[in-house]
Amino acid sequence: MNTITIFASATLLVACYVSLAESACYLSNTCFDVETNKTYKAGENWVTPQCTRCDCTEQKQNVKLCLELLPRIKSVKKSKITAQFETDSENDNGLFHETFISQEAAVNFKCPPVSFDFYADTMPSFRFVNYVTMATTMGCCTVGRPVSIPSFCQAVLNRQTCQYKVYMKNTKIPCQGPMSFVGK
């Protein structure tokens, strides 16, 4: 089986699956839930009155990667050439450094200017500084719901348990027949 056939088969399978799906998911850059009128903290999860499951998470977001030149301490070396390649122990903390900044500062953040004038007579010592901020995000998805039930059946949502029951239409008799569900 060649790559094109596998890709076409996978695309058809996804298209069939998506056409059956009736779940809804959304993301927000705050953990404020308008249904409950409450702000949640990172690590919390909840189910809304409309049976939507939500999670609040906190994660690092990259703002910018900048080049930073490190100051060199003038010292007496045996050779001017070795002085250019030796690093100072107090500045030797790796090629990459991570610095946290506030979300407000991240909005218009620009890398600090770099001037090579200071290093006219020596090899510059530098590192990359990755400026990051912590951001909370909320992800919500509707609970699992039936997507393929026989035409003589109906799905009823129990809002206390946030679960669907499938009955024969206009009765409380459980439906017998092929059906499928999607969601969490």
pLDDT for position 133: 93
Separation between Cα atoms, residue 30 and residue 178, nearest integer Å: 40
Could you count the other beta carbons within 10 Å of the beta carbon of residue 167?
15
pTM of the model: 0.53
Q: How does pLDDT run across 79-104, given as a tens digit for each residue?
A: 555 555 554 444 445 688 899 999 89
- C-alpha R_g of the chain: 29
Choose the weakest-confidence range: 11-15, 34-38, 150-154.
11-15
Amino acid at 10: A
Q: So where are the chain's domains? A: 23-142, 147-184
User: Both tokens of residue 147?
Assistant: 């997507």
